Protein backbone atom coordinates (compact mmCIF):
# COMPACT_ATOMS: atom_id res chain seq x y z
CA UNK A 1 0.00 0.00 0.00
CA UNK A 2 1.28 3.48 -0.81
CA UNK A 3 2.13 5.70 2.13
CA UNK A 4 -0.22 8.31 0.76
CA UNK A 5 -3.16 5.88 1.04
CA UNK A 6 -2.03 4.64 4.42
CA UNK A 7 -1.94 8.11 5.89
CA UNK A 8 -5.19 9.20 4.31
CA UNK A 9 -7.09 7.47 7.11
CA UNK A 10 -5.11 8.89 10.01
CA UNK A 11 -6.89 12.23 10.01
CA UNK A 12 -3.85 14.20 11.15
CA UNK A 13 -5.08 17.53 12.48
CA UNK A 14 -3.47 20.60 10.98
CA UNK A 15 -4.37 24.07 12.11
CA UNK A 16 -4.55 26.75 9.48
CA UNK A 17 -1.79 29.23 10.36
CA UNK A 18 -4.35 32.03 10.28
CA UNK A 19 -7.09 30.27 12.23
CA UNK A 20 -6.76 32.41 15.35
CA UNK A 21 -4.52 29.86 17.08
CA UNK A 22 -1.54 31.08 19.04
CA UNK A 23 0.52 30.29 15.92
CA UNK A 24 -1.71 32.68 13.97
CA UNK A 25 -0.95 35.40 16.50
CA UNK A 26 2.73 34.65 16.24
CA UNK A 27 2.68 35.10 12.47
CA UNK A 28 0.28 38.04 12.48
CA UNK A 29 0.08 40.17 15.63
CA UNK A 30 -3.61 40.88 16.38
CA UNK A 31 -4.94 43.99 14.66
CA UNK A 32 -1.96 44.35 12.36
CA UNK A 33 -2.65 45.02 8.69
CA UNK A 34 0.33 43.61 6.83
CA UNK A 35 0.61 45.01 3.31
CA UNK A 36 4.37 44.86 3.06
CA UNK A 37 5.77 41.60 1.61
CA UNK A 38 3.59 40.98 -1.49
CA UNK A 39 2.06 37.92 0.15
CA UNK A 40 -1.34 36.51 -0.78
CA UNK A 41 -3.47 35.96 2.32
CA UNK A 42 -6.10 34.07 0.30
CA UNK A 43 -3.81 31.04 0.10
CA UNK A 44 -2.92 28.28 0.46
CA UNK A 45 -5.57 26.52 -1.62
CA UNK A 46 -8.00 24.35 0.38
CA UNK A 47 -6.93 21.35 -1.68
CA UNK A 48 -3.30 22.03 -0.78
CA UNK A 49 -4.12 22.28 2.93
CA UNK A 50 -6.08 19.01 2.79
CA UNK A 51 -3.21 17.24 1.00
CA UNK A 52 -0.67 18.53 3.52
CA UNK A 53 -2.94 17.23 6.26
CA UNK A 54 -2.59 13.79 4.70
CA UNK A 55 1.21 13.76 4.49
CA UNK A 56 2.47 15.84 7.39
CA UNK A 57 3.02 12.74 9.53
CA UNK A 58 5.40 11.47 6.84
CA UNK A 59 7.80 14.28 7.62
CA UNK A 60 10.14 11.86 9.36
CA UNK A 61 11.24 10.77 5.88
CA UNK A 62 13.22 12.53 3.15
CA UNK A 63 10.69 13.38 0.46
CA UNK A 64 12.64 12.34 -2.62
CA UNK A 65 12.30 8.57 -2.60
CA UNK A 66 10.74 7.85 -6.00
CA UNK A 67 8.71 4.88 -4.84
CA UNK A 68 7.41 6.03 -1.48
CA UNK A 69 7.06 9.76 -1.85
CA UNK A 70 7.24 10.70 -5.53
CA UNK A 71 5.85 14.19 -5.06
CA UNK A 72 8.84 16.04 -6.56
CA UNK A 73 8.50 13.93 -9.67
CA UNK A 74 4.72 14.53 -9.83
CA UNK A 75 5.17 18.29 -9.46
CA UNK A 76 8.01 18.47 -11.99
CA UNK A 77 5.97 16.53 -14.56
CA UNK A 78 2.82 18.62 -13.99
CA UNK A 79 4.69 21.91 -14.47
CA UNK A 80 6.77 20.69 -17.41
CA UNK A 81 3.71 19.28 -19.16
CA UNK A 82 1.73 22.50 -18.80
CA UNK A 83 4.58 24.42 -20.42
CA UNK A 84 5.18 21.89 -23.19
CA UNK A 85 8.66 21.15 -21.81
CA UNK A 86 10.57 18.10 -20.56
CA UNK A 87 11.46 17.46 -16.92
CA UNK A 88 15.10 18.26 -17.86
CA UNK A 89 13.99 21.84 -18.58
CA UNK A 90 12.92 22.39 -14.98
CA UNK A 91 14.26 22.59 -11.45
CA UNK A 92 12.28 23.03 -8.24
CA UNK A 93 13.81 25.27 -5.59
CA UNK A 94 13.13 26.53 -2.09
CA UNK A 95 11.18 29.59 -3.22
CA UNK A 96 12.17 31.19 -6.51
CA UNK A 97 14.73 33.21 -4.58
CA UNK A 98 16.83 30.08 -4.11
CA UNK A 99 16.81 29.44 -7.88
CA UNK A 100 17.93 33.05 -8.45
CA UNK A 101 20.74 32.74 -5.92
CA UNK A 102 21.79 29.37 -7.32
CA UNK A 103 21.96 30.90 -10.82
CA UNK A 104 24.13 33.72 -9.47
CA UNK A 105 26.44 31.18 -7.83
CA UNK A 106 26.56 29.04 -10.98
CA UNK A 107 27.21 31.85 -13.48
CA UNK A 108 28.61 34.75 -11.42
CA UNK A 109 32.28 33.73 -11.70
CA UNK A 110 32.23 34.94 -15.31
CA UNK A 111 31.69 38.56 -14.25
CA UNK A 112 29.23 41.27 -13.43
CA UNK A 113 25.46 41.08 -13.24
CA UNK A 114 23.28 43.56 -15.09
CA UNK A 115 20.01 44.61 -13.44
CA UNK A 116 17.39 47.39 -13.72
CA UNK A 117 17.96 50.37 -11.40
CA UNK A 118 14.88 49.56 -9.35
CA UNK A 119 13.89 45.92 -8.98
CA UNK A 120 13.58 42.97 -6.60
CA UNK A 121 16.97 42.62 -4.93
CA UNK A 122 17.10 39.93 -2.21
CA UNK A 123 19.21 37.70 -4.46
CA UNK A 124 21.42 40.66 -5.41
CA UNK A 125 22.51 41.00 -1.78
CA UNK A 126 23.72 37.42 -2.13
CA UNK A 127 25.67 38.35 -5.27
CA UNK A 128 27.32 41.20 -3.39
CA UNK A 129 28.34 38.78 -0.62
CA UNK A 130 29.99 36.67 -3.31
CA UNK A 131 31.94 39.75 -4.46
CA UNK A 132 30.17 39.98 -7.83
CA UNK A 133 29.76 43.48 -9.30
CA UNK A 134 26.20 44.58 -9.91
CA UNK A 135 25.63 47.05 -12.73
CA UNK A 136 22.38 48.85 -12.13
CA UNK A 137 20.83 50.55 -15.17
CA UNK A 138 18.43 53.40 -14.25
CA UNK A 139 14.77 53.00 -15.15
CA UNK A 140 13.34 55.30 -17.82
CA UNK A 141 11.41 58.35 -16.58
CA UNK A 142 8.16 56.39 -17.13
CA UNK A 143 9.49 53.77 -14.65
CA UNK A 144 9.93 51.22 -17.42
CA UNK A 145 13.03 49.03 -17.54
CA UNK A 146 15.44 50.53 -20.10
CA UNK A 147 16.11 47.51 -22.31
CA UNK A 148 18.01 49.56 -24.92
CA UNK A 149 20.42 50.94 -22.33
CA UNK A 150 20.92 47.48 -20.82
CA UNK A 151 21.46 45.86 -24.18
CA UNK A 152 24.05 48.50 -25.11
CA UNK A 153 26.33 47.59 -22.21
CA UNK A 154 26.22 43.81 -22.47
CA UNK A 155 29.67 42.48 -23.30
CA UNK A 156 31.63 39.32 -22.53
CA UNK A 157 32.29 40.43 -18.95
CA UNK A 158 28.58 40.20 -18.07
CA UNK A 159 27.73 36.86 -16.46
CA UNK A 160 23.98 37.30 -16.53
CA UNK A 161 21.19 39.81 -16.96
CA UNK A 162 18.32 39.83 -14.46
CA UNK A 163 14.87 41.21 -15.31
CA UNK A 164 11.59 40.91 -13.44
CA UNK A 165 8.44 40.88 -15.58
CA UNK A 166 6.26 42.39 -14.20
CA UNK A 167 8.81 44.33 -12.19
CA UNK A 168 8.82 44.76 -8.42
CA UNK A 169 8.23 47.35 -6.93
CA UNK A 170 6.76 49.20 -9.92
CA UNK A 171 4.24 46.49 -10.85
CA UNK A 172 4.82 47.32 -14.52
CA UNK A 173 5.12 44.64 -17.18
CA UNK A 174 7.83 44.86 -19.84
CA UNK A 175 6.65 45.27 -23.43
CA UNK A 176 6.38 41.68 -24.65
CA UNK A 177 7.77 42.16 -28.16
CA UNK A 178 10.70 44.25 -26.96
CA UNK A 179 11.52 41.75 -24.20
CA UNK A 180 11.36 38.80 -26.56
CA UNK A 181 13.76 40.54 -28.98
CA UNK A 182 16.05 41.50 -26.07
CA UNK A 183 16.23 37.90 -24.82
CA UNK A 184 17.00 36.54 -28.28
CA UNK A 185 19.71 39.13 -28.97
CA UNK A 186 21.35 39.39 -25.53
CA UNK A 187 20.99 35.64 -24.90
CA UNK A 188 23.59 35.04 -27.62
CA UNK A 189 26.21 36.60 -25.32
CA UNK A 190 24.99 35.88 -21.81
CA UNK A 191 22.24 34.18 -19.81
CA UNK A 192 19.06 36.27 -19.44
CA UNK A 193 17.00 35.55 -16.32
CA UNK A 194 13.36 36.59 -16.55
CA UNK A 195 11.76 36.49 -13.11
CA UNK A 196 8.05 35.82 -13.61
CA UNK A 197 7.04 35.74 -9.93
CA UNK A 198 3.91 37.77 -10.71
CA UNK A 199 3.12 36.42 -14.18
CA UNK A 200 -0.17 34.80 -13.16
CA UNK A 201 -1.46 38.23 -12.12
CA UNK A 202 -0.59 39.96 -15.38
CA UNK A 203 -3.28 40.95 -17.87
CA UNK A 204 -2.47 38.14 -20.29
CA UNK A 205 -0.16 35.70 -18.48
CA UNK A 206 0.69 33.27 -21.25
CA UNK A 207 1.25 35.96 -23.91
CA UNK A 208 3.43 37.96 -21.52
CA UNK A 209 5.55 34.98 -20.45
CA UNK A 210 8.92 34.23 -22.03
CA UNK A 211 8.56 30.46 -21.54
CA UNK A 212 8.10 30.04 -25.30
CA UNK A 213 11.78 31.06 -25.63
CA UNK A 214 12.75 28.02 -23.57
CA UNK A 215 10.78 25.86 -26.01
CA UNK A 216 12.68 27.65 -28.79
CA UNK A 217 16.09 26.72 -27.26
CA UNK A 218 17.02 30.30 -26.31
CA UNK A 219 19.52 31.16 -23.56
CA UNK A 220 16.98 32.23 -20.92
CA UNK A 221 16.12 31.08 -17.43
CA UNK A 222 12.53 31.77 -16.33
CA UNK A 223 11.76 31.72 -12.61
CA UNK A 224 8.30 31.26 -11.11
CA UNK A 225 6.98 30.90 -7.58
CA UNK A 226 4.26 29.38 -5.42
CA UNK A 227 4.52 32.39 -3.08
CA UNK A 228 2.26 34.80 -4.96
CA UNK A 229 -0.94 33.71 -6.72
CA UNK A 230 -0.75 30.35 -4.92
CA UNK A 231 -0.43 32.06 -1.51
CA UNK A 232 2.28 29.72 -0.19
CA UNK A 233 5.10 32.13 0.70
CA UNK A 234 5.74 30.35 4.01
CA UNK A 235 6.22 26.95 2.35
CA UNK A 236 9.12 28.03 0.12
CA UNK A 237 8.57 26.47 -3.28
CA UNK A 238 9.58 27.97 -6.61
CA UNK A 239 10.89 26.70 -9.92
CA UNK A 240 13.00 27.62 -12.91
CA UNK A 241 12.66 26.72 -16.59
CA UNK A 242 15.56 26.72 -19.03
CA UNK A 243 17.77 24.71 -21.35
CA UNK A 244 18.78 21.31 -19.90
CA UNK A 245 22.44 22.34 -19.54
CA UNK A 246 21.43 25.57 -17.72
CA UNK A 247 19.09 23.64 -15.43
CA UNK A 248 21.80 21.06 -14.67
CA UNK A 249 24.34 23.79 -13.89
CA UNK A 250 21.98 25.77 -11.65
CA UNK A 251 20.72 22.58 -9.93
CA UNK A 252 24.30 21.84 -8.89
CA UNK A 253 24.39 25.02 -6.83
CA UNK A 254 21.00 24.68 -5.10
CA UNK A 255 21.46 24.42 -1.35
CA UNK A 256 18.13 23.37 0.15
CA UNK A 257 16.82 19.84 -0.17
CA UNK A 258 13.23 19.38 -1.30
CA UNK A 259 10.65 20.17 1.37
CA UNK A 260 7.96 17.47 1.26
CA UNK A 261 5.18 19.55 2.80
CA UNK A 262 5.81 22.43 0.42
CA UNK A 263 6.03 20.16 -2.62
CA UNK A 264 2.78 18.43 -1.69
CA UNK A 265 0.99 21.76 -1.28
CA UNK A 266 2.52 23.08 -4.51
CA UNK A 267 1.39 20.07 -6.53
CA UNK A 268 -2.20 20.25 -5.29
CA UNK A 269 -2.37 24.06 -5.65
CA UNK A 270 -1.07 23.83 -9.18
CA UNK A 271 -4.03 21.65 -10.14
CA UNK A 272 -6.61 23.65 -8.19
CA UNK A 273 -7.98 25.81 -11.02
CA UNK A 274 -10.91 26.99 -8.91
CA UNK A 275 -8.60 28.37 -6.23
CA UNK A 276 -6.30 30.00 -8.78
CA UNK A 277 -9.24 31.85 -10.37
CA UNK A 278 -10.57 32.85 -6.93
CA UNK A 279 -7.16 34.08 -5.80
CA UNK A 280 -6.63 36.16 -8.94
CA UNK A 281 -10.10 37.67 -8.72
CA UNK A 282 -9.63 38.70 -5.06
CA UNK A 283 -6.23 40.22 -5.77
CA UNK A 284 -7.56 42.21 -8.73
CA UNK A 285 -10.51 43.36 -6.63
CA UNK A 286 -8.12 44.45 -3.88
CA UNK A 287 -5.91 46.26 -6.38
CA UNK A 288 -8.87 48.26 -7.65
CA UNK A 289 -9.70 49.20 -4.04
CA UNK A 290 -6.14 50.38 -3.32
CA UNK A 291 -6.05 52.35 -6.59
CA UNK A 292 -9.34 54.02 -5.63
CA UNK A 293 -8.05 54.86 -2.13
CA UNK A 294 -4.96 56.55 -3.58
CA UNK A 295 -6.91 58.40 -6.26
CA UNK A 296 -9.39 59.76 -3.70
CA UNK A 297 -6.43 61.42 -1.98
CA UNK A 298 -5.14 62.84 -5.28
CA UNK A 299 -2.34 60.26 -5.66
CA UNK A 300 -1.90 58.58 -9.07
CA UNK A 301 -1.02 54.88 -8.74
CA UNK A 302 1.36 53.23 -11.20
CA UNK A 303 -0.83 50.81 -13.22
CA UNK A 304 0.13 47.50 -11.61
CA UNK A 305 -0.12 44.00 -13.07
CA UNK A 306 0.85 42.37 -9.76
CA UNK A 307 -0.43 42.00 -6.19
CA UNK A 308 1.01 45.37 -5.10
CA UNK A 309 0.66 49.01 -6.07
CA UNK A 310 3.49 51.57 -6.34
CA UNK A 311 2.74 55.27 -6.10
CA UNK A 312 4.43 58.64 -5.72
CA UNK A 313 2.80 60.35 -2.74
CA UNK A 314 4.84 63.52 -3.16
CA UNK A 315 6.12 63.48 0.43
CA UNK A 316 9.06 61.69 2.04
CA UNK A 317 8.01 58.05 2.28
CA UNK A 318 10.08 56.73 5.20
CA UNK A 319 8.41 59.05 7.67
CA UNK A 320 4.99 58.40 6.11
CA UNK A 321 5.45 54.61 6.35
CA UNK A 322 6.41 54.99 10.03
CA UNK A 323 3.21 56.98 10.67
CA UNK A 324 1.16 54.26 9.00
CA UNK A 325 2.95 51.64 11.12
CA UNK A 326 2.05 53.62 14.26
CA UNK A 327 -1.57 52.97 13.20
CA UNK A 328 -0.77 49.24 12.72
CA UNK A 329 -0.82 49.33 8.92
CA UNK A 330 2.46 48.12 7.41
CA UNK A 331 3.45 49.25 3.90
CA UNK A 332 6.82 49.90 2.24
CA UNK A 333 8.75 53.03 1.30
CA UNK A 334 12.30 54.33 1.36
CA UNK A 335 13.28 53.18 -2.13
CA UNK A 336 16.74 54.39 -3.18
CA UNK A 337 16.32 57.04 -5.87
CA UNK A 338 12.53 57.13 -5.30
CA UNK A 339 12.22 58.78 -1.88
CA UNK A 340 8.56 59.76 -2.26
CA UNK A 341 7.20 56.41 -3.49
CA UNK A 342 5.36 53.82 -1.44
CA UNK A 343 4.37 50.22 -2.21
CA UNK A 344 1.21 48.63 -0.89
CA UNK A 345 0.78 44.83 -1.08
CA UNK A 346 -2.66 43.32 -1.40
CA UNK A 347 -4.23 42.05 1.81
CA UNK A 348 -7.69 40.65 2.41
CA UNK A 349 -10.42 43.04 1.34
CA UNK A 350 -11.31 43.77 4.97
CA UNK A 351 -7.68 44.80 5.58
CA UNK A 352 -7.79 47.04 2.53
CA UNK A 353 -10.83 48.79 3.99
CA UNK A 354 -8.73 49.57 7.06
CA UNK A 355 -5.91 50.72 4.75
CA UNK A 356 -8.38 53.00 3.00
CA UNK A 357 -9.37 54.75 6.23
CA UNK A 358 -5.87 54.93 7.76
CA UNK A 359 -4.14 56.04 4.55
CA UNK A 360 -6.67 58.81 3.94
CA UNK A 361 -6.31 60.13 7.50
CA UNK A 362 -2.52 59.88 7.75
CA UNK A 363 -2.04 61.35 4.27
CA UNK A 364 -4.36 64.29 4.96
CA UNK A 365 -2.50 64.97 8.23
CA UNK A 366 0.95 64.72 6.56
CA UNK A 367 0.51 67.38 3.87
**Could you give the 3-state DSSP secondary structure of residue 223?**
strand
Residue 294 φ/ψ, nearest 5 degrees: -65, -45
Nearer to ligand PLP, 92 or 233 (CB): 233
- Asked if 259 touches ligand PLP (CB under 6 A), the answer is no
Nearer to ligand PLP, 54 or 97 (CB): 97
- Asked if 225 touches ligand PLP (CB under 6 A), the answer is yes
Alpha-carbon gap, residue 88 to 68, rounded angstroms: 22
Q: Which of 42, 69, 120, 126 binds ligand PLP (CB under 6 A)?
A: 120
Q: What are residue 222's DSSP bridge partners?
A: 194, 241
- Work out how close the CB of 136 gets to ligand PLP at its nearest, in angstroms, rounded to a whole number: 16
Nearer to ligand PLP, 27 or 152 (CB): 27
- Within 290-349, the residues that bind ligand PLP by CB under 6 A are none
- Could you tell me if 62 and 56 are in contact, meaning their C-beta atoms sit under 8 angstroms apart? no
Of the candidate spans 57-65, 92-100, 186-194, 331-339, the one that interacts with ligand PLP by CB under 6 A turns out to be 92-100
- Asked if 168 touches ligand PLP (CB under 6 A), the answer is yes
Q: Which of 41, 43, 44, 95 binds ligand PLP (CB under 6 A)?
A: 95
Nearer to ligand PLP, 223 or 264 (CB): 223
Of the candidate spans 55-63, 95-103, 150-158, 208-216, the one that interacts with ligand PLP by CB under 6 A turns out to be 95-103
Of the candidate spans 91-99, 145-153, 209-217, 348-356, the one that interacts with ligand PLP by CB under 6 A turns out to be 91-99
- Asked if 197 touches ligand PLP (CB under 6 A), the answer is yes
- Asked if 199 touches ligand PLP (CB under 6 A), the answer is no
Its sign, for the CA torsion 194, 198, 203, 207, is: positive
Q: Of 17, 34, 41, 19, which Cα lies nearest the Cα of 283?
A: 41
Contacts of 150 (CB under 8 A, 6+ apart): 114, 116, 137, 161, 182, 186
Computed on alpha carbons and rounded to an integer, the radius of gyration of the chain in Å comes to 21
Q: Which of 48, 113, 145, 164 binds ligand PLP (CB under 6 A)?
A: 164
Helices (H), the chain: 3-8, 22-27, 46-55, 71-82, 95-107, 122-129, 147-152, 176-186, 205-208, 211-215, 244-251, 260-270, 273-296, 317-326, 349-366
Alpha-carbon gap, residue 333 to 35, rounded angstroms: 12
Alpha-carbon gap, residue 169 to 102, rounded angstroms: 23
- Asked if 165 touches ligand PLP (CB under 6 A), the answer is no
Contacts of 143 (CB under 8 A, 6+ apart): 118, 170, 172, 302, 310
- Work out how close the CB of 364 gets to ligand PLP at its nearest, in angstroms, rounded to a whole number: 30
Which residue is closest to ligand PLP by CB? 95
- Asked if 38 touches ligand PLP (CB under 6 A), the answer is yes
Q: Which of 121, 195, 200, 351 binds ligand PLP (CB under 6 A)?
A: 195
Q: Which of 227, 269, 279, 305 binds ligand PLP (CB under 6 A)?
A: 227
Q: How many CB atoms lie within 10 A of CB 353?
A: 14
Nearer to ligand PLP, 169 or 358 (CB): 169
Q: Of 125, 112, 216, which Cα lies nearest the Cα of 160?
A: 112
Nearer to ligand PLP, 103 or 358 (CB): 103
* Interface with ligand PLP (CB under 6 A): 38, 95-97, 120, 164, 168, 195, 197, 225, 227, 233, 238
Amino acid sequence: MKRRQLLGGLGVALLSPFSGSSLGQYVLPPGQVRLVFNENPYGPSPRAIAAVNDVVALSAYYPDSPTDFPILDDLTKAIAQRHGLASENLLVSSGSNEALQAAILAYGDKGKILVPGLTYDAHLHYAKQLGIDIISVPLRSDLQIDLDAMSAIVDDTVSLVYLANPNNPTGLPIDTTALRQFCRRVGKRTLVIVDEAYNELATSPSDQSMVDLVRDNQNVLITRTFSKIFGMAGMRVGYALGQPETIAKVSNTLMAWPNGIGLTAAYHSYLDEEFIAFSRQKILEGRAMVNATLQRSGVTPVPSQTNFVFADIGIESTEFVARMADRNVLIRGGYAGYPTHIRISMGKLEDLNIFDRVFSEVYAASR
